[in-house]
């Protein structure tokens, strides 16, 4: 029978005056915690859609004067066919693309910081237009066959709005008898950025903002499966930057993205830095080039639930986080480790919130055959598919309220060990929270990427944080709280665990340079 979750004890009655206010505070916090609601599925961040200005809703611009005052997006919308043609940052060869980005960088060095800010703001504007957001989100799902458009709208908007800009580059100053020294964040030059199928436009938006804010130009090497939407994003950035007076070709790519073109980019002498957002193979490749490289690699984020957690809230958060964009985000919950005392109750609560529990070994076998390759990794054609789709493929029809396929499994199972990137969520039981934490560390596999815990025991939360060493560690929230949806802080779609930059931002794409004025300008 389900075991009710343990609750925090009621605070002791206040007695002496000195302890009374402490007791009141404890009581208030306890009451608040008891009443905490699960984070809702993320709502779209508030924006004013540009298409509001357009009588056609921004989809069928006729160049009417109504759009002129806002210098808007609809005045340069690009069709899907036009997206893959040459021009506006799209080049026939990687050599041409890099040379153009190098020339753009030479000019960009002499642009003011306020110009940089306006270029970054221009990129934000392109990708917060509601009609364009919807278009690229739908296009990505159609082209890659992965994820769902509704969640991609949230992710794209998040990248546009919450990626830090030039304010991230804080100058340090030291002055004394020997003068004044500044340490400033300065550009690398041309950066080569490799982007994943799972977040194609999000990564282009996030990296373009971060790299341009730091004074670089960027050459993108998108995944071939996300070609059209990636080229469209690059073209729209170029057209917008052109209206703002930016040097041409600050953001470029090639007409036919391929592994050969990625290799050409990585070895091009004018590319000074490489940033790979993707799986282990591409991270290893960039780190072997001999160039400065940032590797944002794979994760396998575990979520621990102990007996002190608010189990109803944990269940909702886990289903919401795991099913976000059909589990494509590298930060999304990939396996649950539940303390035995509350495991049944957690499972029942997850079922109430959109999890479909599979117990039949024959169905589990069918799912294994469906989603795993002979080598044991995920089948590409199942990555980013919905729970409804995957269940249908094994002969089970469910309604759209089902968002996660929940299966209790031993820790050795491939569904637990592999980063599946689809809403199949294995649950492993642990005897107690210490065992759960040790197992989470084992399953995270040294990626140092992301982990979650639902608990009210601060000592155990601290213990897990220290042992697991992930870049993102979310307590009592869905995984997406870690990238700024329902959690504080900025966002990034390039989370660099392997090379240690962690949550990349403009200063990750900059060098620290020292500028020394000897014997002068100390005015103290
Ligand atoms: P992927 O590794 O297959 O591809 C990523 C990019 O690298 C693509 O552009 C691809 O064309 C290129 N690429 C891959 N192997 C290459 C090679 N040998 N030579 C040249 N180019 C190569 O990954 P994916 O399926 O597109 O994305 C999913 C993976 O990315 C998951 O492992 C996920 O965890 C990871 N990811 C990590 C982050 C992060 O911030 N850490 C963000 C998103 C995705």
Q: Is the distance from CB of 481 to CB of 474 less than 8 angstroms?
A: yes
Q: Does 302 sit in the ligand 1 pocket, CB within 6 Å? A: no
Long-range contacts of 484-489 (CB under 8 A, 24+ apart): 484/158, 484/162, 485/42, 485/154, 485/158, 486/39, 486/40, 486/42
Rounded to whole angstroms, what are the CA distances from 132 to 51, 73, 135, 153?
Answer: 9, 8, 5, 10
What is the CB-side half-sphere exposure of residue 227 using CA atoms within 13 A?
Answer: 14
State the pLDDT at residue 205. Answer: 98
- 230 Cα to the center of ligand 1, angstroms: 14
Q: Does 279 sit in the ligand 1 pocket, CB within 6 Å? A: yes
CA-based nearest residue to 334, from 217, 457, 428, 221: 428
ipTM of this complex: 0.97
Q: Does 195 sit in the ligand 1 pocket, CB within 6 Å? A: yes
Q: Is the distance from CB of 39 to CB of 478 less than 8 angstroms?
A: yes
Integer Cα distance of 443 and 474 in angstroms: 16
- 279 Cα to the center of ligand 1, angstroms: 4
Integer Cα distance of 436 and 446 in angstroms: 16
Cα–chain-centroid distance for residue 494?
A: 7
Angle of the 113-126 helix axis to the 200-213 helix axis, nearest 10: 170
Q: Does 198 sit in the ligand 1 pocket, CB within 6 Å? A: yes
Instruction: Cite the residue boundaries of each domain of the chain with CATH code 3.40.605.10.
Output: 77-297+505-512
Element at 495 (helix H, strand E): strand 495-496
Q: Does 471 sit in the ligand 1 pocket, CB within 6 Å? A: no
Integer Cα distance of 214 and 509 in angstroms: 6
User: Quick one: DSSP state of residue 411?
Assistant: T
Q: What residue owns the CA closest to ligand 1's atom 20?
A: 259
- Both tokens assigned to 27: 């009581």
pTM (predicted TM-score)? 0.88
Q: How many CB atoms lie within 10 A of CB 102?
A: 20
Integer Cα distance of 308 and 432 in angstroms: 11
- Both tokens assigned to 460: 């155990």
- 428 Cα to the center of ligand 1, angstroms: 28
Determine the straight-line distance between the first and last CA of the chain, rounded to whole angstroms: 73
Integer Cα distance of 282 and 261 in angstroms: 13
Q: For 77-297+505-512, CATH number?
A: 3.40.605.10
User: Quick one: DSSP state of residue 87?
Assistant: B
Atom of ligand 1 nearest to the CA of 495: 40
Checking phi first, is residue 347 left (phi over 0); if not, alpha (psi -120 to 50) or beta? alpha
- Both tokens assigned to 515: 């500028």
CATH superfamily of 302-486: Aldehyde Dehydrogenase; Chain A, domain 2 (3.40.309.10)
User: Quick one: DSSP state of residue 517?
Assistant: E
Alpha helices in 127-255 (DSSP H): 130-144, 149-162, 200-213, 227-243
Instruction: Cite the residue boundaries of each domain of the chain with CATH code 3.40.309.10.
Output: 302-486
CA-based nearest residue to 405, from 419, 418, 417, 415: 415
State the residue for tokens 């004890």: 9
Question: Which residues are CB-neighbours of 147 under 8 A, at least 6 positions away?
Answer: 140, 141, 198, 325, 326, 328, 384
Element at 361 (helix H, strand E): helix 361-371
For 130-143, b/e burial (b = at least 16 CB within 10 A) is bbbbbbbbbbbbeb
Q: Is the distance from CB of 234 to CB of 253 less than 8 angstroms?
A: yes
Q: What residue owns the CA closest to ligand 1's atom 36?
A: 278
Q: Does 281 sit in the ligand 1 pocket, CB within 6 Å? A: yes
Atom of ligand 1 nearest to the CA of 383: 25
Q: Is the distance from CB of 350 to CB of 309 less than 8 angstroms?
A: no
Integer Cα distance of 127 and 118 in angstroms: 14
Per-residue pLDDT of the chain in tens (524 residues, 90 and over written 9): 333 333 333 333 333 444 455 556 545 544 554 444 445 555 544 433 334 444 444 444 443 333 333 445 655 689 999 999 999 999 999 999 999 999 999 999 999 999 999 999 999 999 999 999 999 999 999 999 999 999 999 999 999 999 999 999 999 999 999 999 999 999 999 999 999 999 999 999 999 999 999 999 999 999 999 999 999 999 999 999 999 999 999 999 999 999 999 999 999 999 999 999 999 999 999 999 999 999 999 999 999 999 999 999 999 999 999 999 999 999 999 999 999 999 999 999 999 999 999 999 999 999 999 999 999 999 999 999 999 999 999 999 999 999 999 999 999 999 999 999 999 999 999 999 999 999 999 999 999 999 999 999 999 999 999 999 999 999 999 999 999 999 999 999 999 999 999 999 999 999 999 999 999 998 88
For 333-357, b/e burial (b = at least 16 CB within 10 A) is bbbbbbbebbbebbbebbbebbbbe
Residue 41, class by beta-carbon neighbours within 10 Å (0-12 exposed, 13-18 middle, 19+ buried)? buried
Atom of ligand 1 nearest to the CA of 449: 41
Cα–Cα–Cα angle for 421, 220, 152, rounded to 5 degrees? 40
Q: Is the distance from CB of 252 to CB of 292 less than 8 angstroms?
A: no
Q: Does 261 sit in the ligand 1 pocket, CB within 6 Å? A: no
- Both tokens assigned to 3: 């075991």
Q: Does 262 sit in the ligand 1 pocket, CB within 6 Å? A: yes
- 212 Cα to the center of ligand 1, angstroms: 22
Residues in the chain: 524
Element counts in the chain: helices (H) and strands (E): 17, 18
């Amino acid at each position: 029978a389900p075991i009710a979750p343990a609750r925090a004890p009621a605070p002791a009655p206040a007695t002496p005056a000195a302890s009374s206010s402490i007791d009141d505070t404890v009581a208030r916090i306890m009451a608040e915690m008891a009443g905490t609601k699960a984070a809702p599925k993320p709502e779209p961040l508030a924006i004013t859609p540009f298409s509001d200005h357009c009588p056609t809703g921004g989809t069928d611009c006729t160049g009417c004067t109504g759009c002129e005052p806002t210098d808007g997006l609809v005045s340069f919308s690009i069709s899907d066919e036009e997206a893959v043609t040459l021009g506006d940052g799209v080049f026939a060869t990687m050599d041409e693309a890099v040379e153009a980005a190098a020339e753009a960088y030479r000019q960009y060095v002499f642009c003011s910081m306020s110009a940089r800010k306006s270029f970054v703001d221009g990129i934000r504007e392109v990708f917060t237009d509601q009609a364009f957001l919807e278009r690229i989100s739908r296009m990505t799902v159609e082209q890659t066959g992965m994820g769902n458009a509704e969640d991609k709208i949230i992710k794209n908007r998040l990248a546009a709005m919450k990626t830090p800009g030039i304010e991230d580059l804080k100058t340090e100053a030291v002055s004394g008898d020997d003068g004044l020294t500044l340490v400033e964040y300065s550009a690398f030059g041309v950066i080569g950025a490799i982007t994943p199928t799972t977040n194609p436009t999000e990564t282009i938006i996030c990296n373009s903002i971060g790299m341009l804010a730091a004074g670089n130009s960027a050459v993108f090497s998108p995944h071939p499966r996300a070609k059209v939407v990636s080229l469209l994003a690059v073209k729209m950035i170029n057209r917008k930057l052109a209206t703002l007076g930016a040097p041409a070709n600050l953001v470029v790519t090639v007409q036919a993205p391929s592994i050969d073109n990625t290799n050409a980019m990585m070895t091009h002498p004018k590319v000074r830095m490489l940033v790979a957002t993707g799986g282990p193979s591409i991270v290893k490749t960039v780190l072997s080039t001999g160039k400065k490289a940032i590797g944002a690699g794979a994760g396998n984020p575990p979520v621990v639930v102990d007996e002190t957690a608010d189990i109803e809230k944990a269940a909702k958060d886990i289903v919401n986080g795991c099913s976000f964009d059909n589990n494509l985000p590298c930060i999304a919950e990939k396996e649950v480790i539940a303390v035995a005392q509350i495991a049944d109750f957690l499972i029942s609560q997850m079922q109430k919130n959109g999890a479909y529990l599979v117990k039949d070994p024959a169905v589990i076998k069918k799912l294994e055959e469906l989603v795993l390759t002979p080598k044991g990794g995920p089948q590409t054609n199942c990555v980013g598919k919905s729970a409804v789709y995957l269940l249908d493929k094994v002969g089970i029809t469910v309604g759209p309220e089902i968002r996660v396929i929940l299966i209790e499994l031993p820790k050795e199972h491939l569904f637990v060990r592999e980063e599946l990137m689809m809403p199949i969520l294995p649950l492993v039981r642990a005897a107690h929270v210490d065992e759960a934490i040790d197992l989470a560390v084992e399953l995270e596999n040294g990626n140092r990427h992301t982990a979650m815990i639902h608990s009210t025991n601060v000592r155990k939360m601290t213990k897990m944080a220290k042992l697991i060493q992930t870049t993102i560690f979310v307590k009592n929230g869905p995984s997406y709280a870690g990238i700024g949806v329902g959690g504080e802080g900025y966002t990034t779609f390039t989370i660099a665990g392997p090379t240690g930059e962690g949550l990349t931002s403009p200063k990750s794409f900059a060098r620290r340079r020292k500028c020394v004025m000897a014997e002068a300008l100390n005015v103290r």
